[in-house]
Structure 1
């Protein structure tokens, strides 16, 4: 190897000026060479999956790489606890690209903030923040962007199918009645409208079980004393460490069965028993309860099931048509 930084020996007849120019040139050359090598090493270090980035299939000019397949496989395993066949994984990735492109054609183009919002919403439903969900995925070898791409495709596609085929996806009342005809219990055949005022008594984080129990006993005392929603509002608005929300209206079909049963046992004007939650001690004041013509739980379940069946059928046929018209080129198996 040539030592570019060694002392330059002048040839006979060369002037000191020429020698200095050569030395300067060689010094600059060596510096640039070192910088180029450092840059190359940095790029190689930043792309540990460089060898795993081989293109497997092109979908309308958009590549799907072996790394994309690896990431989606890990995501499927993480969310379903099952290992999907490689071709099934590739088909999912193809479908996602077709869905996103078709949605954009009809003006449904989710922004980065929209996708981040969907990601945060998923985390919230799992009892985690977006950052916590990202850390869980990363710990399992799944980049958060892999999940976000799936959310983007599903969200955009759902909006597209529902928007384009709104009329054909509607479920008729006759079909709903026929599908829910086997439900005969009162809670399934009758629907109520509830006027509610949720209440929370705050408990400082990290409080001992004794403090929590004491606050719960205080809530019980207040609950026994309250005889109307007006009294509940006056009482809890006067307490510094408590809050009462404005009246909200829910029907039987809107509520989970355990809360619905609890409200049906609670006299109008009274409050549900105190429950310890992350927020503190929570109760609900029942302001009114009346029979309504809205969907019963059985009808709501039947309606949702029939809609899902129609949606899946329409989604499948739509996607099949997109695949037939798409430019899908396999580079390797």
Structure 2
């Protein structure tokens, strides 16, 4: 018994000192087995009672009961629970800092619990400890199991909370999907199984699994892979409905592409502006009257502007005016506010007169050039998708207004 009590005392010291270091490792990077652990918070390291996986709804009568009718088509409580679990996996949990703070607070309670030492003594008796070395090894095992069970319990709680918060969005999402699939059936546009499987196979491959392995992985996290299939089927089908209904209504012009490229920072890196400028110099000493007179002269020139090719002749007709063909310039090299004005101008436009560093200036945008066709093609595709999204949302809203939705 001497060794037993010495070991119990040893545990108290370890819990209050060295175990804190071990805890930090568990909180920051728990092993996958711990992240999916199902043991309860107990000192019995050999027999931890298994619990149902976090966020997993049992297939009971209640779970299979109809929760919502959408145009007489049912959505079950089980489908909502599964979709909620899926949404929770996508980011419904708490932050790492929250988890760490919760783990530290709970570990402190475990350390201060007088029953912890009592459980450790029972654990040692069960293992018939014979030496201090054996007691130390069992102590380390005991502490690690306490931490493992604690982290598994905290993660179950976080997951359960995330699933609970996701039930409302899950129900809304499933209602929308019912409407989308009903519309897809009307247009004979429901996605084939092979289209859905191709997407899931791609996700599995990126996670170094095949579809069967990925399905088991998802099941272990409380989500039936069929809930993913249903979601992807609805998305693919809806895209086809929108394409068939509104494809002919979406027309993207070159001016639309120019404007989009001009206002997209990433695309501006590949953009060059072809510029020309007329400057009406100002004397060193100026007053408001001089500036106003020069602006009036510039406005008269602008009124006679017929395109970039007319600028040399316009400059020659004005006293002291200077004409410059600036060639191509990157937008980043042009100071504000002129940069924004030029980016939003159309090709061939002459901007209103402005006061520059050398005098009153008239800038003309004579052309745009991107680094390659891929930039414009990407811009065009993105613009088309935005137009499709607007039309799709409008159509879905119409379907919702016309639908008979009964929430039970």
TM-score, structure 1 as length reference: 0.49
Structure number with the higher helix fraction is 2
Name which one, 1 or 2, has greater alpha-carbon Rg. 2
